[in-house]
Amino acid sequence: MDFITDLPISLGFDFILVVVNQLSKMAHFIACRKSISTEQTAQLIFRERVMKPPSPVIMKDKSEYEVDAILDLKIFQKKLYYLFAWKGYDINEHS
């Protein structure tokens, strides 16, 4: 995470927050203001959802399930894991 600073004001922003996803190596550039606090920075990162879920893989001849919500995510041994709430299933069947 880093900031690009002292930029001319554009649409009310004069800083760019740069966050690199270590798994995908994708860089995310988020516009912000110079007066941003630590708490606001954390909220901005989570609001912009830097760690977005991957695109779905379409597989033929497989059952389909609809995701109701992503409840949690974690990185374990450099792999990203999600906890899903499946639409129409009990809380005990989340995976």
17-26 pLDDT tens trace: 888 877 777 7
Give residue 45's pLDDT: 79
Query: What is the CATH T-level fold of the domain 53-95, as seen in this structure?
Result: OB fold (Dihydrolipoamide Acetyltransferase, E2P) (2.40.50)
The residue ranges of every structural domain in the chain are 1-52, 53-95
Picking from 62, 32, 55, the residue whose alpha carbon sits closest to that of residue 45 is 32
pTM (global) more than 0.85: no
At residue 51, the pLDDT reads 54
CA nearest to 23, candidates 55, 57, 51: 51
Class of residue 17 by CB neighbours under 10 A (exposed 0-12, middle 13-18, buried 19+): buried
Question: The domain 1-52 is classified under which CATH number: 3.30.420.10, 1.10.1740.110, 3.30.460.80, 1.10.150.530?
Answer: 3.30.420.10
In this prediction, the residues of the chain whose per-residue pLDDT falls under 70 are 49-56, 92-95
Give dist(CA 68, CA 89) in Å, integer.
9
Q: Alpha-carbon distance 45 to 78, whole Å? A: 20
pLDDT of residue 95: 59
- The answer to whether domain 1-52 and domain 53-95 are alike in fold is no
